Amino acid sequence: MSRAPATVLTRRGMTVILWALVASLACALLVEQRGLRWVQGVVWPNDLYAFQQIEQGPLDVAVIGSSRAAFGVSPSSLDLCLSQQLGRPTHSVNLSRSFLTTYAADLLTEQLLVGPRAPQVLVLGIEPEIFDEHNPKLPINVATMAGLVDIPEALGTVRDLRGLFAVLRPMGRGPETLALYASGRWDSKPWLRWMMLHHGGGMFCTGSEQCRRHNKDVEASLREWWDIVATTLLPNLKAQRFPAYEAGTGPVHHHTERLLARAERQGVQVVLMELPRHPAFRQAMPSEVGPRYQAYLSTLLEAHPLTLHRVPTDDWTLHRAYYVDAEHLTAAGAHRVSKDLCRSIAPLLAAESSVVGGE
C-alpha cells in the first residue's frame, strides 16, 4: 500500500527545511571562521569591518557606547588634545554603535579589542539605557552582535517572541552576510569607511577642510532630527525607552561584569563617560530612572577600579545649537566633549607611560 500523498509531501517538506537549516548553519560557521561577522547590512554608525581588517594597534584609547557616544566623541579631536598634553602622538578610535547596551559592548570588545588592539584606556559611554535589563533595543544587540557560541547564554535575554527570534538570528545570519559581502551592498555608506580608516570612526572629525565639509554635510543630512525626536520620542519616552527600568539583576549586568573583569585582566583602564543631553530630554525622563541608574553606578564604582567622567557642567550643554536632536551632539558639541574627556584620560595615559618607561 502506497503512502498517502499528504504524508509524502510532509516528509519532503521537512527534509527541505532540515537541509536549509544545515546550509544556514554551515554559512554561519563560514562567516565566523572568515571573520565576516561585522559585514552587516547596517554598519551605522561605524564600519567595524574596516576596523577589524585594517587596525593593527597599539591603541591608546577606544570609545564604546551608543550612537550618543558616536556623535559625542571625535577621535581626531581627542588625539589632538592628548598629543598636546602628553607631548607624543596618540591613537584613538570610536567603535560606538546605535542602541548599544553593555551586553553588546562586552561581545564587541571581546571580538575586536584584544591582543595588540587592546587599548590602554577603554572609554565606556554610559547612560541609564546601557545598563537596562528591559531595554527595548536589547533584541537588536543580540541579533547583531551575538555569535553561534553565544546563543545558549543569550537565551537569558528572551522576554517575548521578538527576543526569541533575536537569539536565533545568528543561525540565519550566515547566508545574508555572505550575500552582502559578495554583492558589496554592505558598503553602502563609504563615508563611514573613510571616517574609520582616516579619523578613527565616530561621526565627526577635525583638523582639515575635508573634515569641516564632512561635518557640515552630516549635520545638514540630520536637519529634521530635532523636530522628529521632539514630536515622536519625547512625548512617549517612557514607553519607547524605559518601559520597566531595571539594572543589576540579569544578563546585561552579567556582561557588564564580564567586560570589566576582562579589562582588569588585560590591564586596560576603564573610564565611564557620561554625555550631556539637552534639558528637553532630561525633563521627559521618568522620575524613577535616575535614582535606579545612580544606585547601580555606585555599586560598579565600589566594586571596580573605574574612573568616572561626569557630564560636563559648562553652560554650553544647555544650548540647542550644540545638539542635532535632544540627545545627540553636533560637531561643535563633540569637539567640546572630546577636549573635556581629554583632561580625564591624559593623566591615565601619562601614568601608564611612566610605568612602561620605568620597566
pLDDT tens digits along 221-267: 999 999 999 999 999 999 999 999 999 999 999 999 999 999 999 99
What rounded mean pLDDT belongs to the chain? Answer: 89
- pLDDT over 90, % of the chain: 67
Calpha distance 350→356 (Å, rounded): 10
Q: Kindly tell me if the per-residue pLDDT of 335 is higher than 80.
A: yes
pLDDT of residue 70: 96
Q: How does pLDDT run across 91-108, given as a tens digit for each residue?
A: 999 999 999 999 999 999
pLDDT of residue 216: 97
pLDDT of residue 21: 67
3-state secondary structure of 297: helix
pLDDT of residue 42: 60
For the ranges 165-169, 338-342, 354-358, the maximum mean pLDDT occurs at 338-342
Q: Kindly tell me if the per-residue pLDDT of 132 is higher than 60.
A: yes
C-beta contacts of 221-227 below 8 A and 24+ residues apart = 222/324, 222/325, 222/328, 225/324, 225/325, 225/328, 226/320, 226/323, 226/324, 226/325, 226/326
pLDDT of residue 8: 54
Q: Return the half-sphere exposure (C-beta side, CA atoms, 13 A cut-off) of residue 229.
A: 17
Q: Kindly tell me if the per-residue pLDDT of 189 is higher than 90.
A: no
pLDDT of residue 351: 85
- pLDDT over 70, % of the chain: 89
Over range 180-187, report the average pLDDT. Answer: 66
Residue 67 pLDDT class (50, 70, 90 cuts): very high
Q: Kindly tell me if the per-residue pLDDT of 135 is higher than 70.
A: yes
Question: Do the beta carbons of residue 136 and residue 243 sit within 8 Å?
Answer: yes
The pTM score is 0.89
pLDDT of residue 356: 52
Place of cell 551592498: 185
Q: Kindly tell me if the per-residue pLDDT of 12 is higher than 90.
A: no
pLDDT of residue 46: 78
In this structure, of 5-9, 48-52, 283-287, the range with the lowest mean pLDDT score is 5-9
Question: Do the beta carbons of residue 48 and residue 193 sit within 8 Å?
Answer: no
3-state secondary structure of 249: coil
pLDDT of residue 5: 61
3-state secondary structure of 312: coil
pLDDT of residue 31: 72
In this structure, of 20-34, 117-131, 200-214, the range with the lowest mean pLDDT score is 20-34
Q: Kindly tell me if the per-residue pLDDT of 1 is higher than 60.
A: no
pLDDT of residue 9: 52
pLDDT of residue 152: 87
Over range 200-213, report the average pLDDT. Answer: 96
Q: Return the half-sphere exposure (C-beta side, CA atoms, 13 A cut-off) of residue 88.
A: 9
pLDDT of residue 2: 53
pLDDT of residue 355: 55
Fold topology of 35-358? Rossmann fold (3.40.50)
3-state secondary structure of 178: helix
